[in-house]
Structure 1
Amino acid sequence: MRALRAEDPEELGGHRLLARLGAGGMGVVYLARSADGTPVALKVIRAEYAADPAFRARFRREVRLATGLTGRWVVAVTAADTEAREPWLATAFVPGPSLAEAVDGLGPLPPESVVVLGARLARALGELHAVDLVHRDVKPGNILLVPDGPRLIDFGIAKGAGATALTAPDAVIGTPGYLSPEQARTHGGKVGPASDLFSLGCVLAYAATGRRPFGTGDAPVVLYRTVHEPPDRTGLAQLPPPLRAVIDGCLAKDPALRPTAAEVHSAMAHDDPPEEGPAPGTGWLPPAVLRLIAERSARALDPPPRTAGPIAPEQPNTLTAQGFSRRRVLTIGGSAAAVLAASGTAASVLLARGHLPTTGARRDIPTHTIALHADLTGTQKTLGKAQERGALLAVTAHNARANVSYRLGLSSYDDGGDAARARDTARRVLATRSVSAVIGPTTTAGARAAAPLYAAASMPVVLVSVDDGTAGLSTTTLRTLCVTRASDSSQTLPLLSYLTRTRPTHRTAVVQDRAAGETAVDITRNLVETPPSDGTITVHQVAAESTDFGPAVAHALATRPQAVVYAGTSPGRAAACARALAAAHFTGAVAGFEPVMRGAFLTAAGQAAEGWVFEAPYTQAQSVGTPAAKAFTAAYRARFGAAPGRWSAEAYDAVGLIARALDALGTTTTIEPAQVAEGLFHLAYDGLAKPIRFVQGTTHTMALENTAFLYQASGGVFRFLGRYDQARAVKT
């Protein structure tokens, strides 16, 4: 990724340009953001090429074909202008490396990864062939690797099966070493789906062995081997028999002897995780490739500033075939994502191997490791995984910045949500001398068991999602315990603010659900002691053993309240309260607390849930309009294939807070965890989710201003309203 130059436009087709991803003879590819904040790779074609009618016709075809593709394993065009003086197209930004980049830089993929690769590429090709299209340039450079599976790109020379290419009559369509014998013989003439399967066989052999099955060298020599000689099978004998059989079948010289895409998929699909539903996870790629993807994702969060002065020319990301006389090889760099995959190769590979490219003489910089202590396999694994992902993005964003003085590492430790395992996990973390700080544990039981061990060893432990009071912990006695979430003891504050400033209420009724025990008592006490708008409060109790909220609601509405607050923690019982209020046609404000914010409440309450407002101590990054939140959301989606989970943005901020403490200590001497712990409490850190400030003194508690958020049930979802001090009035 390179900085924008002075001559680069600020905006193109409603996309704001952020950085250069690559440049070649045909044009420039930019990292850009669409109007809704989504990152895209935007390719601009140079005017001199666009002036060629044949080239512009190919470009129009690429846009038309790729726009119509809907398969999961292809990258479609999201926007384009084929008639501009310098035509352009935008595709989804895919932060993964190309297969060529990964294998050339990191070595062959393990057989199980090649099986997944083959199954999903076969599915992609099968979808193309089903609509009578042939890709015609399946090669490692046109395959991008991301955690949920490969992506097939570059449809610039795709054609209908049996169609003739729109190019010069002496051109060979495709890439030598991966094109089929019939492509080499027909000079770009008629080829069918079997041609793509030959190319797939070459790709899988290369992915599994690191060797090109027809060797390297001048293009005419490689083409001759493709047509007349058997493939180089070095290394194939060690592969599992089913994979070896697929590769051998695809590499048959006779198209009639090759398997179809469906047959390849069927042969490999039994070892391939399900393709439907949520992303299957990161297990199909080796760790080195995942680190490379993470580094790419991080760069999108922190693009370099625009360069004002002169800059050295970029080297074109093109492949030149030497040795041709009258015949030429046509390799159309048709996809923006293809150029993206080709850019930044050397630096990314160095990063994936644990090195950081630097300028000047200093190359060895220290690494400070952060341990993530989480439930990654137990009943709260979703919450733990979200925090792990947020922390990972923060670590990789730090490491991708230019001129960093130290690198961060992230090591995850799973306690399964079990207290005994949490204690054992803490001991393992403390035995690892490279750890400078801990994020977590992510469960109350884990924090209660492990935090005292960390504190006794002077290890800073940042609790992101666990309330220290609920866990029975004290930041006064545990001097290295750093809690970055609002306490449950202050959970009435956001609703008080909402019912006083945003939707002024002078008469409030509290429906106290005795099933919530002391929690309901505490909520009620806080509201009675500090009523909204300094008005009046009435309290109406529902017995723990009762499921009928009708009488309590009737008594509450008899006081003519402007707002009703449900003081309880059960989604199902809150739904019963909502139904009773709806049956009584109450139209005022209704509020509740975060434990109720679950799908069970929406399902059980139905239409009666509409308009309920809730407090919560976490943000929803995908609904925040700041540039940082948009960048984080885009990077999270690109890396993990889903919207950011609960507490992921807060975990991202926890890494930033620790890094700020490390910055203050410098990197010239060994840093002890106790130094990091002491530094945390003297920081003022404006995070992605919220500002983090600590009360100066012996308590080490976080200042609570502006640290909680409001949500509203609307249309069957919990709609994010924003930070409680910034939320506006909403209609019910």
Structure 2
Amino acid sequence: MRPLLAADPETIGPYRLLARIGAGGMGVVYLARSEGGALAAVKVIRAEHAADPSFRARFRREAQAAARVDARWTTPVLAADPEAPEPWLATAFVPGPSLAETVAGHGPLPPDTVRALGARLVEALTAVHAAGLVHRDIKPGNVLLALDGPRLIDFGIARAGGATALTATDLVIGTPGYLSPEQARARGGEPGPPSDVFSLGCLLAYAAAGRPPFGTGTAAAVIFRTIHEAPDLTGVPDDPLRTLIARCLKKSPAARPTLPELRTALGHFGTDDWLPPGLPALIAERSAQVLELPEPQRAEPPTLAAGPPAPTRRRFLLLGTSAGVLAAGGATAAWYTTTRSSARTPAVPTRTLAVHADLTGPGKALGSAIEQAVRLAVSDHNARVDRSFDLALQVHDDHGEAARSQAVARQLTADGRVCAVIGPSSDTTALATRDIYTKASLPTVTAWAGSDDLYATASSTHLAVFQIRPADYAMPTPLFRYLTEIHPASRWALIEDDAARDFSWLIARLLTENAPTHGTVTTHTVPADSDDFAPAAAAAIAARAQAVVYCGNSPQRAAACARALRTAGFTGTAAAAQPVLDPAFLAAAGAAAEGWVFSSTWVDPVRLAPAATFVRAFTRRYGVPSVPAGAAEAYDALGMVAHVLTQSGTGPVDPGSLILPLRSLSYQGITRTFAFDASTGAVQLNPGLFLWRIRRGRPDFLGQYQQVKAA
């Protein structure tokens, strides 16, 4: 939870606000207390959405439908005001940990506990369906554990059967790994109760085995396995339970058990001692902390320049639940501008940090930029006259190899001096070390690994991996805004590259599902064993495409696509995602690269006013004309850690004690604001997504995608 902001109201309806639980694109969720002293979670919808009469009508219908849900194992709707200037809805607050947090921190649950969990959730779903709703997002993060049983929460995307919902019908609604095949196909159909049964089966498999039944990885890969492959239930230790879960995970909705059948199969359960040893104490402690909340403390509002109007509802739908407005906080990158002094200062303790990067392998250019920026940040910190500690730095090279990365991680976790790690610098090396760093509770901060698999790991509030750049699945978002608002095009052609099947399919799927309302989208595939993009370019021309998006991740193959489009006479907008924005693309495409647009998580610090001091210091110290890619983000990563260390005092530091302060931090860096979603622990997406365009043969930074002006 975070403190209330100065701009937050003191009350909503009959509720006095205590803290912020989370903030997202649709609004803010507050912890509040009623006049009678009961705690509630109050969701307040932003005024710009409420200004839409159709949205307000849909909110009214869903609030009424949610109020009809009457079950012990759900969080009841306590009150709502759909007619308020900012509509709100209050539900009972459950202080317990989520199932995701519990399994990540304590391991899989025993079979008997899983059965009891399943039986209670079946009863909750029975009430949801009886109210005419389908939940559509049953996942471990939406199940909270209380001493007497679980609570199914978050009906924010549930939809009344036969009615228009708060979400569009042509989008994938749900979480990859827990959505049903009919949801994953996103063909405009209406998922029914069997869809929730499938998702419940996925959740029970996760609770019993500690991992989802369709694996991890990119969203595209998980969705592909959900639709086409059998679930992996080898980790479920109990044969009858495994058989029952397998029935829930049938591809055909008609083949799955009904809720009454499932309830009977799960058997009887009591209301006492349903949790394994250790968890009741954790839940009781969490409850006591919430009940002892002091009077609200309000944070100062952020000192950020006013931005453009908030994104439209359609853009928020594309962003998903992790996207959202920034939670304000006191942390700021201004620490690097503190006046230096050569005067002697009293002795202060030393805190040791480490850089873990590829310094001699294929990613050595990025690794070198990271090392240089961190060394500069350490020097800036140690030059402060008001510092309470000095920073010492270790630098470790993994050569970009998984095995060497693991060796580095083991060395660092065995070194009792290291408080935190900046890096690793690639998907391969970060994924290879995540379990080592997490087991040792040694925080690692990476702004360079974008794997969806790592992102899922980093999203737990108790794990040590801090992925502070948006994951790959967010890459279509800036392109969507560019093609719909900045340089609108109504006819799109998507070129899927089978040489990067999962990545390409993901980009193409998300853009297809969010096509222009009155436009068209055509898809053209290039085989993996061919580098001839001429047929795809010709097909795009024949479809009278105004915009072409190369959906793969190869700079060389994107260059072949650019040359083919130029030869075919295409004059519209050409676009791609961050992996293509590489010197190899510019070299191979030549003049054909001109005008291409890219979504990215990188910034050009020269174009950012808060980074001016850093840019001058970096170029002067290292004698270079410009700051290399990734360096500014490294400076911010060190700044985040230094800020939390400053708050920890001057005594001995336990690295594990830094994890929760880092996860709850909102830090204003030189590149952007870094904050984590309170409910998922994942980094907020919007601030870290940017647009670039090739101009006169060079990449030109346009800015944060929501702030780029229309041509």
Q: Which TM-score applies when normalising by structure 1?
A: 0.49
2:665 is the counterpart of 1:686: no
What is the correspondence of 1:113-152 to structure 2 with a 5 Å cutoff?
none
* CA deviation profile, 1:49-72 (whole Å, cap 9, x unmatched): xxxxxxxxxxxxxxxxxxxxxxxx
Q: Which moved more, 1:512-521 or 1:461-470?
A: 461-470
| CA deviation profile, 1:153-180 (whole Å, cap 9, x unmatched) | xxxxxxxxxxxxxxxxxxxxxxxxxxxx
What is the aligned partner in structure 2 of residue 719 from structure 1? 700
> 1:720 offset after TM fit, Å?
1.5
Q: Which residue of 2 aligns with 1:423?
A: 406
Q: Which residue, out of 505, 530, 534, partners 2:514?
A: 530
Name the amino acid aligned to 2:696. G
Q: Where does residue 236 of structure 1 map in the other structure?
A: none
- The structure-2 alpha-carbon separation of the partners of 1:476 and 1:302, relative to structure 1 and needing over 3 Å to count, comes to closer
Cα distance in structure 2, aligned partners of 1:449 and 1:581: 39
One-letter amino acid of the structure 2 residue matched with residue 640 of structure 1: Y
- Kept in 2, the 8 Å contact 1:459–1:674? The answer is yes
In the alignment, structure 2 segments of 5+ residues that lack a partner are 1-332
One-letter amino acid of the counterpart of residue 676, structure 1: L
Task: Answer yes or no: is the 8 Å Cα contact 1:499–1:505 preserved in 2.
Answer: yes
Residue in 2 that maps onto 1:302: 337
Residues 26-65 of structure 1 aligned to structure 2 (within 5 Å): none
Contact 1:500 1:533 (C-alpha < 8 Å) held by counterparts: no
One-letter amino acid of the structure 2 residue matched with residue 538 of structure 1: T
Which has the larger displacement, 399-408 or 611-620?
399-408
Tell me which residue corresponds to 2:554.
570
CA separation of 1:402/1:301 partners in 2, compared to 1, >3 Å: closer, same or farther? same
Partner residue, 2:103: none
Asked if structure 2 preserves the Cα contact closer than 8 Å seen for 1:511 and 1:552, the reply is: yes
1:398-417 alignment runs, 5 A limit: 398-417=381-400
CA distance in 1 between partners of 2:386 and 2:475 (Å): 42
- RMSD across aligned positions (CA): 2.3
Q: Output the CA distance in 1 between the equivalents of 2:546 and 2:504.
A: 21
Residue 612 of structure 2 aligns with an amino acid whose one-letter code is K
C-alpha contact (below 8 Å) 1:621/1:689 kept by paired residues: yes
Contact 1:497/1:532 (CA < 8 Å) preserved in 2?
Answer: no
**C-alpha displacement at 1:583, in angstroms?**
2.2
**Partner of residue 442, structure 2:** 459
Q: Does residue 620 of the first structure (1) align with residue 604 of the second (2)?
A: yes
1:257-656 superposed matches below 5 A: 302=337, 304=339, 347=343, 357-358=344-345, 363-469=346-452, 474-476=457-459, 479-532=463-516, 535-622=519-606, 624-626=607-609, 628-642=610-624, 643-656=626-639
Q: Secondary structure at the match of 2:670?
A: coil
CA change 1:607–1:468 in 2 (3 A) is closer
Please tell me whether the aligned partners of residues 448 and 472 of structure 1 are also in contact (alpha carbons under 8 angstroms): no
Q: C-alpha displacement at 1:299, in angstroms? A: 12
**Distance in structure 1 (CA, Å) of the matches to 2:536 and 2:496:** 9
Shift of 1:659: 1.6
Deviations 1:513-570 (A, max 9, x none): 2222111111111111122567432111112222222221121122222211111112
Return the offset for 1:476. 4.5
The match for 1:700 is 681
Q: Which residue pairs with 2:105 in the alignment?
A: none
Q: For the residues of structure 2 that align with 1:380 and 1:663, how far apart are their CA atoms?
A: 32
Task: Give the Cα–Cα distance (whole angstroms) in 2 for the partners of residues 534 and 647 of structure 1.
Answer: 39
CA distance in 1, matches of 2:645, 2:479: 36
- SS for the counterpart of 1:614 is strand
Shift of 1:472: 8.0
CA distance in 2, matches of 1:534, 1:621: 38
- 1:276 counterpart residue number: none
Does the Cα contact within 8 Å between 2:336 and 2:381 map onto a contact in 1? no
Contact 1:482 1:700 in 2 (8 A): no
Q: Tell me, what secondary structure is at the counterpart of 1:474?
A: helix
Matched residues in 2 for 1:501 and 1:472: separation?
A: 29
SS in 2 for 1:701: coil
Q: Which runs of 4+ in 1 moved over 6 A?
A: none
What is the CA-CA distance between 1:727 and the residue it aligns to? 2.2
2:543 partner SS: coil
How many residues get paired? 377
Contact 2:485/2:710 (CA < 8 Å) preserved in 1? Answer: no
CA contact (8 A) 2:438 2:464 kept: yes
Residues 323-369 of structure 1 deviation map (CA, whole Å, 9 limit, x = unaligned): xxxxxxxxxxxxxxxxxxxxx7x64xxxxxxxxx22xxxx2322211
Q: Report the CA distance shift for 1:365/1:390 in structure 2 as closer, same or farther (over 3 A).
A: same
Shift of 1:704: 0.3
Please say if 1:664 is aligned against 2:699: no
Return the offset for 1:666. Answer: 2.4
Which letter does structure 2 place at the counterpart of 1:501?
Answer: E
Q: Distance in 1 between matches of 2:407 and 2:529?
A: 39
Q: Give 1:671's aligned amino acid.
A: V
Percent identity among equivalent residues?
41
- In 2, are the aligned partners of 1:468 and 1:474 still within 8 Å (CA)? no
SS at match of 2:362: coil
Q: For 2:657, what is the secondary structure of its paired residue?
A: helix
Question: Structure 1, residues 234-287: CA drift from partner, whole Å, max 9, x if none?
Answer: xxxxxxxxxxxxxxxxxxxxxxxxxxxxxxxxxxxxxxxxxxxxxxxxxxxxxx
**Code of the aligned partner of 2:683:** M
What is the CA-CA distance between 1:303 and the residue it aligns to?
5.7
- In the TM superposition, residue 469 of structure 1 has moved relative to its aligned partner by 2.0
The residue type equivalent to 1:386 in the other structure is A
| Letter of the structure 2 residue corresponding to residue 394 of structure 1 | A
1:655 Cα offset (Å): 0.9
Inter-partner Cα distance in structure 2 for 1:463 and 1:426: 14
In 2, distance between residues paired with 1:471 and 1:503?
Answer: 33
Cα offset for 1:593?
1.4
The match for 1:677 is 659
Q: TM-score, normalised by structure 2?
A: 0.51
Give 1:608 deviation, angstroms: 1.4
